[in-house]
Amino acid sequence: MKRTSRQLADGREILYFDERETERTASDTRDLPPVAASSEIRLDPLTGEWVAMAAHRQTRTYKPPADLCPLCPSKDGKPSEIPEADYDVVVFENRFPSFSQGVVGERSTVDGNPLVPLAPGRGRCEVVCFTSRHDGAFSGLPASRVRTVVDAWADRTTALSEVDGVEQVFPFENRGEEIGVTLSHPHGQIYGYPFVTPKTERMLAVAKDYLAEHGRPVLGDVLAAERASGVRVIAEGAHWTAFVPPAARWPVHVQVVSHRQVPDIPALTGEERDDFAEVYLRVLRACDALYDRPLPYIAGWHQAPVRTGRDLGWLHLELFSVLRAKDKLKYLAGSESGMAVWINDATPEQIAERLRGVG
């Protein structure tokens, strides 16, 4: 794989990850004003969780027509975020970032109240384009392209982990209008958070307590139990197993877990990256066959934070969907949204059986 770093018209970095030797020399001809990010984070005094405020994102691109897609390669008279006429995998800084290194300000408090600390939303947000084909999908990629994407994720995890103030790196993909996607071109994002996320903090706390009591990693024991039972297993390879979690929250919910405890994507071997590509494609293709339509989903990597809990983290990918039938959505009702108490309309065993049946 060849990695090439260039700059867009407003100074943002764009990176090309090419599977063949390719020269990237095209320039961004657009007249763009500088990025003006104004993010801040505030600590909720009742939960102890950080909440990001990014009002500048109200003006971000929203459902453009296909011929004006900003993620397609540039054409004569129609420049896009990617100046080249074609590409394999591309990563660039988001023009409407939730977190940015360019945010100015100092730590303070809201209205001078020490109960509510406030800080600049310093971090980094990137866009990952998986293919130049506007009508493509991750599930339609060849395994070799998925491997390129994994290598790009690893590269960016390493780079963002070294960005000043970044505490956790989260690569993820949102797919489908039902999820809230406003750009239909196959793409994902990578967030470099200026704090450890609430979900990760909770998982690390559980992992720490379990290790102290049992002397073993909790996800390692879960993985061993799922592989032994097989009831909820969807796909399996030499280095990865995909299964419906035994307490699944969503109508479609899958975890793809590494057989070896590693903290993050950069720690994976070449063989593990290749095997992930094969297993994950089997999962995605089963998901798309489930309702005989492209499944809307969120898929994200659980990686250990940059500076804490790295001995407790166990790399895995989690995929879930709000689609509970071909034409029915699961809406988060009072119990889920108000109290974070989940109620699933299907058992994990039923979900797994359906996915295996179409896979």
Q: Classify each residue of 9-29 as buried b or exposed e, where b means 16 or more C-beta atoms within 10 Å of its C-beta.
A: eeebebbbbbeeeeebeeebe
Phi, psi of 337 (to 5 degrees): -70, -40
Question: Which residue among the candidates 185, 187, 239, 316 is catalytic per the annotation?
Answer: 187
What is the rounded radius of gyration, in angstroms, for the C-alpha atoms of the chain?
21
- Concatenated DSSP letters of 116-185: EEEEE---EEEEEE--S-TT--GGGS-HHHHHHHHHHHHHHHHHHHTSTT--EEEEEEEESGGGT-S--S
Identify which of 319, 305, 171 has the alpha carbon closest to the alpha carbon of residue 245. 319
What DSSP character marks residue 267?
G
Q: Which residue type, as a one-letter code, is found at position 102?
A: G
Q: Is residue 187 annotated as part of the catalytic site, yes or no?
A: yes
Phi, psi of 174 (to 5 degrees): -105, 130
What DSSP character marks residue 78?
B
Which residues are known to be catalytic?
187
